[in-house]
Structure 1
Amino acid sequence: MDIAIADIAALPSAAAQVLAAAGERRVFLFYGEMGAGKTTFIKAICKELGVTDAVSSPTFAIVNEYVSPHGPVYHFDFYRIKSEQEAMDMGYEEYFYSGRYCLVEWPEKIAGLLPSGAVALHLTVSADGGRNVKLDIR
C-alpha cells in the first residue's frame, strides 16, 4: 500500500489509513532517512489513537510511554543504540509482545529482534517536498 502525503493537512487521513490497514497489528516500524518525517507521522498516528500527551522523539530515553484510550502507546527511537544487546537489556520483548501499540523509529538498528507481523512503513521525501509512505506487513 502506498500513501502520498502532500502536506501537514493530509497527515490525519494518512494516519487513519495506516491504522485501518494494520488491523489488529500493534508493532509499527518506521524507516526513513533523517528528516523524512518519522516523528511527525508518529505524532499523527498518536493523535488518531487518542493520545493527548506531548509526543516527542525519545532519542535519549529510547522509549516514551503515552496514555491513550487503547492503553499505553510506546514510542521507541533506537537511533543511538550501539547493539541489539542494549534493546535486550531494556526488555524490548515486554513492549513488543504486550499487545500494545509500539511505534519504532530506526528499527534497522535492531533488525534481528523485530517481531513477525509488524507493520513496516518506509517514508521518503518526494520532489515537491511531500512525503510518500510505503506500507508493508512483515
Structure 2
Amino acid sequence: MDEKVVEVAALAGLPAAAATVWDFAKDENILLFEGEMAAGKTTLIKELCRLAGVAEPVSSPSYALVNEYESNRGEVIYHFDFYRINDQREALDIGATEYFYSGNKCLIEWPSQVRDLLPEHYVTVTIDKGVGEARTITLKKN
C-alpha cells in the first residue's frame, strides 16, 4: 500500500497540498475524506476542484448528499457528504454505486457511512487537526 504524509502549516499551503493529493491519486477515481468535524475536508475538496478547473462554487452537499461539478476540460466530479445518512440504503436510493463506478472522480466525505458500497480501489485522505490552521494529511492507496 502506498502512503504519503503532507504537512500544511496554514491555509496558504492548501494549493500545494491539493496538488500533491491529485498527483498521488493519479488514476484513482475514488477519494475518501476522513477526519473529525471541522478538520478541513470540504475546504480541501474546494481546492481540489479549483485545481481541476471547476469554476462554479463548491459547497458541502450535506443535505443533497451529492453535488456535481464540471471542470473546464469537461470532466465530471461528484462530491458526496454522507454525514447525515442513517442507513446505507439512503445512499443506494440516490444511486451512489452508479456514481462510484461511473469512471468519474468521486470525492466522498464520511465514507464510513457507506463502507459496504465502496469500490475495491480508492485513495483515503485523512486530515488531522494541528495547532491553529496546521493540518497533517495522510494519503493511502487501497
For Structure 1 versus Structure 2, the TM-score category normalised by the shorter chain is over 0.9
The answer to whether structure 1 residue 93 and structure 2 residue 97 are counterparts is: yes
Where structure 2 has 5 or more consecutive residues not aligned to the other structure, the ranges are none
Which residue number corresponds to residue 102 of structure 1? 106
Kindly tell me the number of residue pairs found equivalent between the two proteins: 138
Residues 87/13 of structure 1: CA separation in 2 closer, same or farther (3 Å cut): same
Which residue number corresponds to residue 125 of structure 1? 129
- Over the aligned positions, Cα root-mean-square deviation in angstroms equals 1.0
Which residue number corresponds to residue 136 of structure 1? 140
Contact persistence 1:117–1:137 (CA under 8 A): yes
Q: 2:44 aligns with which of 20, 35, 41?
A: 41
Contact persistence 1:49–1:70 (CA under 8 A): no
Q: In structure 2, how many angstroms separate the alpha carbons of the residues matched to 1:37 and 1:133?
A: 10
Q: In structure 2, how many angstroms separate the alpha carbons of the residues matched to 1:19 and 1:35?
A: 22
Of 127-136 and 41-50, more deviation after overlay is shown by 127-136
Where structure 1 has 5 or more consecutive residues not aligned to the other structure, the ranges are none
Q: How far does the alpha carbon of each residue in 1:86-110 deviate from its partner, in whole angstroms, 9 at most, with x for none?
A: 1111111111111111100000111
TM-score when scaled to structure 1?
0.96
TM-score when scaled to structure 2?
0.93
Q: In structure 1, how many angstroms separate the alpha carbons of the residues matched to 2:57 and 2:86?
A: 27
Q: How does 1:47-86 map to 2 (within 5 A)?
A: 47-68=50-71, 69-86=73-90
Q: In structure 2, how many angstroms separate the alpha carbons of the residues matched to 1:97 and 1:15?
A: 23
Q: In structure 1, how many angstroms separate the alpha carbons of the residues matched to 2:12 and 2:121?
A: 29
Runs of 4+ off more than 4 Å: none
